[in-house]
Amino acid sequence: MKIYDDKHIKNIVLLGSAKSGKTTLAETMLFEAGLLNRRGTVEDKNTVSDYHEVEHERGNSVYATSMHTEWRDYKINIMDTPGLDDFIGEIISSVRVADTVVMLLNSQHGVEVGTELIWNYVDKFQKPLIFGINQLDHPKANYEMTVEMGKKRFGGAFTIMQYPVNQGDGFDTIIDLLKMTMYKFPTTGGKPQKLPIPAEETDRAIALHNELVEKAAENDEKLMELFFEKGTLDEDELRAGLKAGMMNHQVFPAFCLSAKKNMGSGRMMGFIDNVAPSANESMHETTTDGQEVHCDPKQPCTLFVFKTLIEPHLGKLSFFKVMSGELNVGTELINQDNRTSEKFNQLFIMDGKNRNQVNKLSAGDIGATLKLKNTKTNQTLYPKDQNVKINPIVFPEPRIRVAIVAKNKADDEKLSEVLAEIHQEDPTINIEYSRELKQVILSGQGELHLNLMKWRLEHLYHMAVEFEKPRIPYRETIQKQSDASYRHKKQSGGSGQFGEVHIRIEPYHDGMAEPKDFNIRDKEVIELAWGGKLVFYNCIVGGVIDARYIPSVLKGVMEKMNEGPLTGSYVRDVQVCLYDGKMHAVDSNDLSFKIAGMMAFKEAFHNADPKILEPIYDVEVMVPEELMGEVMTDLQGRRSTITGMDAKDHYQVIMAKVPLAELDKYSTTLRSITQGRASYTGKFADYALVPTDIQKKLAEEYKKTEV
């Protein structure tokens, strides 16, 4: 297989909402370049891209798939991505290593909800962007509506490069405004006839061509001067202006397509070859210490792993981009995160599930290798005498959480191992083994995201699992001062057990005054792992309790704070004064004083106006203005406090503080009430008191479990 240098490599990522035709376009591009003898279809389940069993079952993409094609002395690496934001991790990682984004619009629907949601994530990368207005052969195709929506949503950067002469059932003709030529395709698609623009289309074509010339000229001062001098620009000058505009995110060229009929894809591929930036022209990657990594084959070899795929019968496949230098078979590189050495025994260029073995990959290229032992997604590899760490991909926070259990308890250990593998493969899935909740908490981007993970566990790993409602990590605290004493006495022949303690507890807050009623001998401030503090004072005088038993009293208090008296949740922000007690010369021991401390704390806690705290999240909902009312009504029904509103692009942003208990399945509800047109993010903010009625209910439920 031919090896291309950084000047002749183009990396593109196909984006768009579900059913916009990304997989079909990828298949057509491979066929158009001669890499396929026959095009597969999504319906026949034989495309290069969607090859996983779950994709065949669902009929759309779940994974981002790497492919390549060769077109007029250029190599085009293609990444086909899912169209649902449940799989945003696959989308973001692909955009990160692409040089150009190709966003498909379904001409039946224009700018869809899925397009909007994906755009909100990828816009921050500021990559050059090409639009493909697809499915112009569909009876309900509406090019004019799609263009109008594109201009409204993406502004003046949305730049018409072509328009269809006869959209709909008979679609076969496109007028190209860059070349000022009419392309007429045969019924079977493929290579078109190049014809003069007919008289009835001349005025429209000239007017749109002039707009294109002005758009190209305004992105380069020299071109602007030429434009004023000549009144126009030639084709090469137009390309230069469009390229500058794409690099500045000021020009988004829009092409006409029927990927299914193979009409227009070759012309768009030609534009990618001629105009879209090569790997060496793209934005430089930066390291965590602010240094630039140049796409230069003469520099030391640096790799960035952007995706991991674990196949049950194949093992771990690591996808990477060569950020600089050249990678040869047999090369050994260092993993920046763990300082381990990795040897590249095999190098592949991937076409779906097909692995094309190569001996070398140059800067800017995308490849894969098998069985890197200690390397995961988002990690950097480099030579021994270097020290480089590429800025990692920032994946979005999870939006939905469930508890997962194996139906067969014998699978518990295996489930832990498999979940760790799945997290390696998909960093947007988080797994937390919560001792506090006594549950394994699984978090993801949406209900579909987690359900498909469950499908994988059951079909690929043959493990039956169930999802349960996750418990809430409540906290317990007190609101007033309380005294209590407890005597632990046990006699059962021989030496017994004896320990008596007297304590005072009160709410703790930073900066509060020291206790005045007791003589403080010692003070210990404990930063609790679950948040808040315990401040413990030893106020024993006269030796009524030996100093060696004081730590045991503290240990007993801590044990009860690990499982609070009200709901079994962690206790926080309490001050404890141990001020009196008794001991026995023979029967006292550490266990006796630990039990006495625990029981005294429990009694004092119940008498100190105990309260339950619940986690509160800062939530931001992005929603079209016309749907704000429904969203706010739903939020208010979830005990939320609206803290503000703001405008962002074409959306309104509602900011609210929402109890975690009320966010269960919120992403599903939000999708339902907004027809999928809204999205949200949530981040832990603080703890707050739960309402009295909810506290009573929680306490009663906990009592039942203690019986």
Neighbouring C-beta atoms of residue 398, cutoff 10 Å: 20
Q: CA-CA distance, 396 to 391, in Å (whole number)?
A: 15
Q: Which tens digit of pLDDT belongs to each residue from 600-659?
A: 999 999 999 999 999 999 999 989 889 999 999 999 999 999 999 998 877 899 999 999
Q: Do 56 and 114 sit in the same domain of this protein? A: yes
**CATH label of the domain that carries residue 536:** 3.30.230.10
CA gap 49, 55 in Å, rounded: 10
Report the distance separating Cα 433 and Cα 410, nearest Å: 17
Give the dihedral sign, CA 671/675/676/677. negative
Of residues 124, 668, 621, 672, the one with CA closest to residue 449: 668
Query: Final residue of a domain: which of 353, 382, 411?
Result: 382
Same domain, 73 and 122: yes
Average pLDDT score over residue span 281-302: 91
pLDDT-derived band at 234 (thresholds 50, 70, 90) equals: confident
Domain assignment of residue 705, yes or no? no
Whether residue 212 is found in the same domain as residue 270: yes
Residue 1 lies in a domain: no
Instruction: Look at residue 387 and tell me if it is in a domain.
Output: no
pTM: predicted TM-score of the whole model, two decimal places: 0.87
117 and 15 Cβ atoms separated by less than 8 Å = no
**pLDDT, tens digit, for every residue of 544-570?**
999 999 999 999 999 999 999 999 999
Q: Is the CB of residue 404 less than 8 Å from the CB of residue 461?
A: no
Question: Considering only CA atoms, which of 237, 242, 206, 203 is closest in space to residue 222?
Answer: 237
Co-location of 219 and 115 in the same domain: yes
**What's the count of helices (H) and strands (E) in the chain, helices before strands?**
16, 38
State whether 185 and 96 are in the same domain: yes
**How confident is the model over 419-473, as pLDDT tens digits?**
998 999 999 999 999 988 999 999 999 999 999 999 999 998 899 999 999 999 9
275 and 308 assigned to the same domain = no
The confidence score (pLDDT) of residue 649 equals 72
CATH number at residue 676: 3.30.70.240
- CATH number of the domain within which 348 lies: 2.40.30.10
Supply the CATH number for residue 428's domain.
3.30.70.870
Do 653 and 604 share a domain, yes or no?
A: no
Dihedral (CA of 422, 427, 430, 433) sign: positive
483 pLDDT above the threshold of 60: yes
**Least trusted range by pLDDT, from 2-16, 162-176, 331-345:** 2-16
Within 10 A of 132 (CB to CB), how many other CB atoms are there?
25
Q: Is the predicted pLDDT of residue 102 greater than 90, yes or no?
A: yes
User: In the predicted model, what is the mean pLDDT of the chain?
Assistant: 92
How confident is the model over 123-172, as pLDDT tens digits?
Answer: 889 999 999 999 999 999 999 999 999 999 999 999 999 999 999 999 99
Query: How far is Cα 599 from Cα 605, in angstroms, rounded to an integer?
Result: 10
Distance, CA of 171 to CA of 563 (rounded, Å): 70
What are the tokens at 28?
């057509």
Of 471, 493, 522, which residue is a domain's last?
471
Number of domains in the chain: 5
On whether both 151 and 89 belong to a single domain, the answer is yes
* Residue 82 to residue 52: CA distance in whole angstroms: 13
Percent of the chain with pLDDT over 70: 99
Q: Which two tokens stand for residue 283?
A: 């934005």
- pLDDT at 69 > cutoff 60: yes
140 plus 261 within the same structural domain: yes
Helix, strand, coil proportions of the chain in percent (round to 5)? 30, 30, 35
Of 438, 471, 504, the last residue of a domain is 471
- pLDDT band of residue 707 (cuts 50, 70, 90) is low
Q: In whole angstroms, what is the distance from residue 621 CA to residue 338 CA?
A: 38
Burial of 630 per CB tally in 10 Å (0-12, 13-18, 19+): middle
Of the given ranges (10-19, 287-296, 458-467, 672-681), which has the lowest mean pLDDT?
672-681
pLDDT for the residue 493: 65
> Quick count: other Cβ atoms within 10 Å of Cβ 212?
21
pLDDT computed for residue 494 by the predictor: 66
For the CA atoms of 612, 617, 618, 624, the dihedral, rounded to the nearest 10 degrees, stands at -120
Whether 395 maps to a domain, the answer reads: no
Asked, for residue 393, whether it belongs to a domain, the answer is no
Structure-token match 């800017």, residue found: 364
When comparing pLDDT for 467 and 386, which is higher?
467
| 550 and 419 part of one domain | no
**The domain containing residue 641 runs over which residues?**
613-694
Residue 79 bridge partners (DSSP)? 13, 66
Domain assignment present for residue 15? The answer is yes
Strands (E) located in 226-268: 252-256
Single-letter residue type at 361 = L
Domain co-membership, 592 together with 637: no
Identify any residues that bridge with 536 across adjacent strands, giving them in sequence order: 524, 576
Q: What's the CATH code of the domain at 142?
A: 3.40.50.300
Domain-embedded: residue 313: yes
One-letter amino acid at 538 equals N
Q: Is residue 252 pLDDT above 90, yes or no?
A: yes
Is 567 found in the same domain as 456? no
Cα separation, 92 vs 122, in Å, equals 7
699 in a domain, yes or no?
Answer: no
Model confidence band, residue 679 (pLDDT cutoffs 50, 70, 90)? confident
